[in-house]
Structure 1
Amino acid sequence: MAANYWSSSQSKYWTFTPSKLSDIRDDLQRQHPKVYEQHPYPDRRHLMIFLRDRLLQLAKRLQFRQQCIATALVYLHRYFITTPMQNVNLYLLTATAFYLASKTEESPHHIRLVAAEARQSWPEFMPGDVARLGEMEFCLISEMRSQLIVWHPYRSLISLKENQDLKLSNDELGLAWSIINDSYMTDLPLTCAPHTIAVIAMFLAVVFLPTAKAAGTLRPLGHDTISNPDNGPFSSLVGRQNISNSFSSVLGNLQMSNHAAAAQNNANYNGKAPAPPPQPFDKEKAIAAAKESEKMQNMIKFLVESGIDLERMIEATQEMIGLYDAWENYSEKSVKDSIARCLKSRGLDS
């Protein structure tokens, strides 16, 4: 295992720019035009939500570490870079990803136990032969070139909690934790460094906290989870009220941070005091409220001084907000039916 993320296989081989990732997927679609045309699948985010729920269903009666689910989701993302979703039994792949991730995260289960639980959960789509899961494991490892170690944002978030200038509360930490879990349904594990995802989650949590308190939907983390990232449930922000309304000012606040960073850079270059940031496009009220918030001021100061790529952070934050918008239209039955039609049509259901 690499001593730090920047020298890891994840950083070198499994982190892409959004444009590069889009090109890879376009190439994959050009290589398999018929399967995409004959068996169109729903929104990729909806599919990842569905697969996450299958992982949680499988793990319900098995002891597992929280990072097991996160690692399995990353394995799925990586596998789909080289293989169309329509070319594989997604139920078998999901069980295999969980089985392999449980070993990687040092929480192993016997292959027969995982296969039996998967068979009981999805009898119509899961083959009864245990050897099929073993074959799928070999295929999954091969597609990932045996690069199985995954760096997650959880520990970066704990480090942010320890930053005395940010003054993050346990409530904000709990919300940020849930947002990190939700980020695995997006492309962020393939396009962002773990610490960037942690910062995005922290920022969104600070924005969302007032509404969460008003709605009574806070689920704070226990002390054990805070001290040990491997413990705790794989919680989600979805299901809490007024998510879209709470995030309405996020991009405006981030843009203010970006202006502040640019002003700071100009000041350093010219030797002059930084000019006040210009008002962003249509978020005047949100920005005014942010300026009056000591918490937001601490956050903006941190972002300006951290040297983080704010343009990329804005794009990634928008992707997270887009996930929650897409989640509102998610239909499990629709996704399940679409997958079932493809598996039966292609003979992948046995």
Structure 2
Amino acid sequence: MAASYWESTQRKYWTFTKQQLTLERKKVEEAERNLVTMYPLPDRRLLSIYFYHQLSKMARPLGIRQQPLATAQVYVRRFYTKVEIRRTNPALVLATALYLACKMEEYPQHIRMILAEARHCWDTSFNDISKIGECEFTLISEMNSQLILHHPYRSLAELQTQFQLTQEENALAWSIINDHYLTDLPLLHAPHVVAITAMFLAVVLKPTQSGLPVHAAGATNALQALGNARNSPTQGAQNRVQKLVDWLAESSVDMEAVVECTQELISLYEVWESYNDKTCKDQIAKFVKARGLDK
């Protein structure tokens, strides 16, 4: 992507502080207080995990790769900062986000194929292509036509050789970047900060094989290692970890932002342990059916 992140609409209009993001969501919830009270939903991160699983189920048979999938996840997260989820049919929103993301990432899919996979995935009754067209217009409108995204994958590709990541470490860093789309980090931090966090975690966690799962305890240990390396740079810090910390100290990258990203991922891995697919599905189905949003 030729355009600079620093001049992008992503940075100017879709990067928030935690306080700003909380305020935006509070405004949306207050405007729909009755719906919020009537139809309780799981933790936002648990919903994100469920949405990711549903998007993956739609994407897999169509051969859709990770970047369009990531773009769809960000579109969904942006949309739901502006629109209360209980006013929508998430099946339709996710299908439309995936359809739009594929077009934007130059991997277009026929609308009928997306619709077919959505119906199979969600066991939903909506079968009118025009609904996806209408929802697409709404998505674009709520995002103010600001659809170009910068992802951390490019920064990872540019920096991995500099820090001499092994193939396994690179795979783990890629996996951690995938995980960050289940959190608010795409709305809070620049892509390069997320990529650096992923590399740091990958180096500290020392994967023994590609695809090693990350968990809260491991990420917490990595956070402690970061603190140790910052506070005692000459006392026992591993060479490659120290190289990363030294590079951060000499660069313009905000070290506190890396710490915050790590903490956000720890929080995700902790809540992931309580994830239950059926609970999310049932609670979404409750308001969708009660409000006739599946028609």
Q: Say if 2:229 and 2:241, in contact at 8 Å, map to a contact too.
A: no
Partner of 2:165: 168
1:139 is aligned to 2:133: no
Does residue 78 of structure 1 match 2:75?
A: no
Deviation at 1:73, TM superposition (A): 0.2
| Partners of 1:312 and 1:161 in 2: CA distance | 20
Tell me if structure 1 keeps the 8 A contact 2:229–2:242: no
Find the counterpart in structure 1 of residue 17 from structure 2.
Answer: 17
Match of 2:199 among 202, 212, 226: 202
Of 226, 230, 248, 1:254 maps to 226
Letter in 2 for 1:65: R
In the alignment, residue 113 of structure 1 is paired with which amino acid? M
The superposition leaves residues 135-163 of structure 1 with CA deviations (integer Å, 9 ceiling, x where unpaired) of 11111111111111010000100111121
- Give the secondary-structure state (helix, strand or coil) at the position aligned to 1:128: coil
Amino acid at match of 2:115: A
Q: CA offset at residue 65 of structure 1?
A: 2.6
Return closer, same or farther for 1:314/1:90 CA change in 2, 3 Å cut-off: same
Gaps of 5+ in 1: 221-236, 260-275, 278-286
Checking the alignment, whether the CA contact within 8 Å between 1:56 and 1:69 is kept in structure 2 is yes
The answer on whether the counterparts of 1:76 and 1:94 sit within 8 Å (CA) in structure 2 is: yes
> SS of the counterpart of 1:64?
coil
The verdict on how the C-alpha distance between 1:157 and 1:309 changes in structure 2, with shifts beyond 3 A counting, is same
Partner of 1:262 in structure 2?
Answer: none
Tell which has more relative contact order, 1 or 2 (C-alpha 8 A, sep 6+): 2
For residues 94 and 189 of structure 1, the distance between their equivalents in structure 2, rounded to whole angstroms, comes to 17
**Residue 244 of structure 1: CA displacement?**
2.9
Post-superposition offset of 1:342: 1.2
Residues 46, 326 of structure 1: 8 Å contact kept: yes
Q: For the Cα contact (< 8 Å) 1:183–1:320, is it kept in 2?
A: yes
C-alpha separation between the residues in 2 aligned to 1:258 and 1:31? 44
Whether 1:244 and 2:244 are equivalent positions in the alignment is: no
Scaled by the length of structure 1, what TM-score is found? 0.80
- In 1, are the aligned partners of 2:39 and 2:287 still within 8 Å (CA)? yes
Q: Is the 8 A contact 1:254 1:310 kept in 2?
A: no
- Percent of aligned pairs sharing the same letter: 45
Q: How many residues align?
A: 295
For the aligned residues, what is the CA RMSD? 1.8
Q: Structure 1, residues 177-197: CA drift from partner, whole Å, max 9, x if none? A: 000000000000000000000
Structure 2: gaps of 5 or more residues: none
Equivalent residue number for residue 219 of structure 1: 210
2:128 match? 129
Alignment partner, residue 156 of structure 2: 157
CA distance in 2, matches of 1:323, 1:146: 30
2:24 and 2:81 in contact (8 A); partners too: yes
Instruction: For 1:121 and 1:249, locate their aligned partners in 2 and report how far apart those are by CA, in whole Å.
Output: 37
Q: Aligned with 1:185: secondary structure?
A: coil
